[in-house]
Structure 1
Amino acid sequence: MGFQTEFNSVCKFKTEQELVELLENGRGNMKKSGLRIFPTGQKVIAYTPSNVATAIVRITASTAQINAQGEETTEVEMVLVRKLTEEESRVQTALAYEMFFGDVESK
């Protein structure tokens, strides 16, 4: 057991449904496996499950817990600041591949 710190400018969704709810409602939740620390109060770039930058969000809450089955999970609450433009998305996605997700040529 231990906490994993998320890089403070990346918030990658695991499911399209969580992302759609955020984009449609302006607020959303994301569940992650493991105990993690997200930067509450900070703005971060949100990425689709396929690693495409899509929006700027503000993390409003991050709760890590061990459930009754002994599984470590973290739930993150966020609000949509704004969607990225096509150009912003292209640049942020390219940077994220170089820094976090792997080589740009491999996508």
Structure 2
Amino acid sequence: MYLHGIETRFNREDRNADEGQEHEQGLISVFAHNVRPLGSPTFQDMDLGDLAKARWYVLHNCEEIESYLDEHIDEMKSKFPTNYDRMHQDQFPEWFAKRVRFHIVSHHT
């Protein structure tokens, strides 16, 4: 730590540092990150319920798509006044995927 100009384990850059990566203009940052897995790959079947929960967690906690979340919950409130929250959680990922595909197609044609 006291040696200047010499790389040590205390001053070397992380092997997995991904800071400073640029992503395509207009692409939501959570979907723009390059992935470099650590360790050997292991494949484990994920229960569909767990996969849906993980997908919801990521989307629900992404500030960049907050306007889409708001738009969809308003839509669900008008369609399902008593159970809109559950319907929002169940249907948002697919609804959002369709919106993103439409956005990509309309901007690339």
Scaled to the shorter chain, the TM-score interval is under 0.3
TM-score, with structure 2 as normaliser? 0.23
TM-score, with structure 1 as normaliser? 0.23
Question: Greater CA radius of gyration, 1 or 2?
Answer: 2
Work out which structure has the larger RCO, using CA pairs closer than 8 Å and 6 or more positions apart in sequence.
1
More helix by share: 2
More strand by share: 1
